[in-house]
């Protein structure tokens, strides 16, 4: 959608949108490299990178919104009006999956048990990680061994 902002804008608005889109793209590349641990000792905080990405996307969208509010009214009907209509439609369609998730009130959480929630934690074949569960034996999702009265442990 930020690309539509670049296409619809002119002059100073286009320069702002171009800079914001470039920074957003570079931020997303650095965030992807950081998430895959390919950055070595230089590992910026992923939350900070994603916050910068969202801010730059907002700046990239700003010229499109200004173009819709100010410049598009004065122009004759053409491809810019069609692009503006398509961008508004795309924003509405993009919100539909979120509305479907929120409709049930469960936000796509499992409806049966804790075991279903933990099914994604199946150990990898390479032995990638281990989880130690400590807690009351009656609430542990898996059977464990007794550490003390009222405390059980389970390693997965």
**Alpha carbon distance 104, 46 (integer Å):** 31
List, for residues 115-154, the tens digit of each pLDDT value: 666 666 665 566 555 677 788 888 887 777 888 888 888 7
List, for residues 5-27, the tens digit of each pLDDT value: 666 666 777 788 788 888 888 89
Q: What percent of the chain has pLDDT over 70?
A: 69
Strands across the sheet containing 145-148: 132-135, 151-155, 145-148
3-state DSSP assignment of residue 132: strand
pTM: 0.43
- The dihedrals phi and psi of 74, each to the nearest 5 degrees, come to -80, -20
DSSP H helices, 1-134, are 2-8, 11-35, 46-66, 72-74, 79-103, 114-118
């Amino acid at each position: 959608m930020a690309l539509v902002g670049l296409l619809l804008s002119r002059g100073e608005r286009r320069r702002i949108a171009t800079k914001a889109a470039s920074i957003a793209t570079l931020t997303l590349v650095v965030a992807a490299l950081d998430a895959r641990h390919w950055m070595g000792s230089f590992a910026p905080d992923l939350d900070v990178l994603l916050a910068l990405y969202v801010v730059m996307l907002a700046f990239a969208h700003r010229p499109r919104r200004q173009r819709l509010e100010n410049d598009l009214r004065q122009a004759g009907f053409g491809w810019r009006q069609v692009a503006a209509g398509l961008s508004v439609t795309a924003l509405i369609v993009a919100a539909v999956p979120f509305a479907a998730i929120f409709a049930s009130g469960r936000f796509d959480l499992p409806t049966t048990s804790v075991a279903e929630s933990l099914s994604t934690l199946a150990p990898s074949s390479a032995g990638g990680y281990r989880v130690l569960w400590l807690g009351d034996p009656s609430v542990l999702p898996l059977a464990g061994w007794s550490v003390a009265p009222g405390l059980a442990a389970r390693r997965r």
